[in-house]
Amino acid sequence: MREIFHTVERVAPTRATVLIAGESGVGKDMIARAIHQHSPRRNKPYVKINCTSLPENLMESELFGYEKGAFTGATASKPGKFEQADGGTAFLDEIGDVPGNIQVKLLRILQERQFERLGSNVTRNVDVRVIAATNVDLRAALEQGRFREDLYYRLNVVPISVPPLRERMEDIPFLAMHFVKKLSAELGSVAKEISPAAMDRLLTHRWPGNVRELENTIERSLVLASGEMLEAADIRIEAPRSTPAISAGQTPLLPEGETLEHWEQMMIREALRRANGNKSQAARLLGMTRNALRYRLSQMGLDSGTPEEAEISGLK
pLDDT at 40: 97
Is the pLDDT confidence value at 263 over 90? Answer: no
pLDDT at 261: 67
pLDDT at 80: 94
Is the pLDDT confidence value at 313 over 70? Answer: no
| CA–CA gap between residue 124 and residue 265 (Å, rounded) | 49
Per-residue pLDDT, averaged over 175-183, amounts to: 94
Domains in the chain, ordered, with CATH?
2-163 (3.40.50.300), 167-236+257-312 (1.10.8.60)
| CA–CA gap between residue 316 and residue 299 (Å, rounded) | 22
258 confidence band (pLDDT: 50, 70, 90): low
Torsion sign (Cα): 101, 104, 108, 109: positive
Is the pLDDT confidence value at 247 over 80? Answer: no
Is the pLDDT confidence value at 187 over 50? Answer: yes
| 22-73 confidence digits (pLDDT tens) | 999 999 999 999 999 999 999 999 999 999 888 888 899 999 999 998 888 8
User: What is the rounded (10 degree) CA torsion for 250, 221, 167, 12?
Assistant: 170
| 266-284 confidence digits (pLDDT tens) | 788 878 887 888 887 787 7
Which DSSP letter does residue 163 get? -
pLDDT at 308: 44
Say if CB 16 and CB 158 are below 8 A apart: yes
Per-residue pLDDT, averaged over 215-238, amounts to: 90
| 287-306 confidence digits (pLDDT tens) | 776 767 777 787 776 654 44
Instruction: Supply the mean pLDDT for the chain.
Output: 86
Angle at 106 between CA 102 and CA 112, to 5 degrees: 140
Is the pLDDT confidence value at 265 over 90? Answer: no
10 confidence band (pLDDT: 50, 70, 90): very high
Alpha carbon separation from 277 to 158, 302, 311 (Å, rounded): 54, 12, 9
pLDDT at 150: 96
307 confidence band (pLDDT: 50, 70, 90): very low
| 120-178 confidence digits (pLDDT tens) | 999 999 999 999 999 999 999 999 999 999 999 999 999 999 999 999 999 999 999 99
- Enumerate residues 6+ apart whose C-beta is below 8 A from 83: 64, 65, 124, 126
- Enumerate residues 6+ apart whose C-beta is below 8 A from 18: 11, 32, 35, 131, 132, 157, 158, 159, 160
